[in-house]
Amino acid sequence: MAYLREARALATATIVNYVPFVRGFLEDCFGKGRVTLSRLCAGDVVRFVQRQAPRLQPKRAKLLTAALRSFLRYARYRGDITLDLAAAVPVVANWSMPSIPRGIAPDQTRQLLASIDQRSATGRRDYAILLLLARLGLRSGEVASLELDDIDWSAGRLSVRGKSGQRNELPLPADVGKAIATYLIRGRPRSTCSRVFLRARAPITGFSGASGVGSVDALQRRESRP
């Protein structure tokens, strides 16, 4: 709490509101067992937010994500974790229309991924893209701008460019890394383009922006519906 009050200059009321969210996150990850922060991964962070945020009002959901980011930055500052897991906390939008779904449920995510035909090059690409969106909570633009040199295979890390151009390092889960590697070896067209994910049709180059990745997501969701 001293860190939040002195280093982050947060009001006491804000700190008090943060504590239950952080406690809930740790209980979700470790239960009643020993808390070992070094075992945390991006998937733990994303899954917790995806489960909790839809149950909360938008302002409370934003408070949840702010609390997690502050806690994870502090844990990294102390050396309890080495990667920037704060960057893995998904952004919770301030929806103005309550009828719009706040997210896709875990069961729907699994159904969506299972519906993709990975026998084709395009299917292997789309599977890797959607797995990145689902497991790491990346934005469409961050996936679109991902380059080959952004992946550190030996360290199992991913360097992601944020909106402001700032780079954040995230752990690369084994299943996500396998999906990307499969696409690179058995699906990605030969190209001098440095982007990881390329268009399936000419011109063979990277997506022009977030809308390209967004269209992949929307198309796969439509095709997965019964």
Give residue 147's pLDDT.
Answer: 93
Does residue 145 have a pLDDT over 80? yes
Q: Which residue has the higher pLDDT, 212 or 177?
A: 177
Question: Which residues make Cβ contacts (< 8 Å) with residue 162, sequence separation at least 6?
Answer: 87, 142, 168
Give residue 212's pLDDT.
Answer: 67
Give residue 165's pLDDT.
Answer: 66
Give residue 102's pLDDT.
Answer: 43
The pLDDT tens digits of the residues spanning 154-203 come to: 888 888 876 666 777 888 888 899 999 999 999 999 899 999 999 888 88
Model confidence at 215, pLDDT cuts 50, 70, 90, reads low
Model confidence at 25, pLDDT cuts 50, 70, 90, reads very high
CATH architecture of 106-224: Orthogonal Bundle (1.10)
Chain mean pLDDT for the chain: 79
Mean pLDDT is lowest, of 31-35, 106-110, 118-122, 126-130, for: 106-110
With vertex at residue 54, the alpha carbon angle to CA 27 and CA 17, rounded to the nearest 5 degrees, is 55
Give residue 100's pLDDT.
Answer: 34
Q: Quick one: which of 40, 23, 28 has its CA closest to 170?
A: 40
174 by Cβ neighbours in 10 Å (0-12 / 13-18 / 19+) ranks as exposed
CA distance linking residue 92 with residue 59, whole number of Å:
9
Residue 16 CA, chain-centre distance (Å), reads 27
Kindly give the interhelix angle for 58-78 and 42-52, rounded to the nearest 10 degrees: 160
Do residues 212 and 203 touch, judged by C-beta distance below 8 A? no
Helix, strand, coil share of the chain (percent; to 5): 55, 5, 35
Does residue 120 have a pLDDT over 80? yes
Write down the residue that tokens 């499969």 correspond to: 182
Give residue 164's pLDDT.
Answer: 62
Q: How many residues does the chain have?
A: 226
Model confidence at 6, pLDDT cuts 50, 70, 90, reads very low
Q: What values do phi and psi take at 39, rounded to 5?
A: -85, -10
91 by Cβ neighbours in 10 Å (0-12 / 13-18 / 19+) ranks as exposed
Q: Name the token pair of 63.
A: 């408070």
Does residue 10 have a pLDDT over 70? no
What percentage of residues in the chain have a pLDDT greater than 70?
77
Q: Which residue has the higher pLDDT, 171 or 148?
A: 148
Does residue 219 have a pLDDT over 60? no
Q: Which residue has the higher pLDDT, 223 or 166?
A: 166
Q: What values do phi and psi take at 123, rounded to 5?
A: -65, -40
The pLDDT tens digits of the residues spanning 57-104 come to: 888 888 899 889 888 888 888 888 888 888 788 776 544 334 334 445
CA distance linking residue 154 with residue 121, whole number of Å:
25
Domain limits of the chain? 2-88, 106-224
CA dihedral sign of residues 110, 126, 218, 52: positive
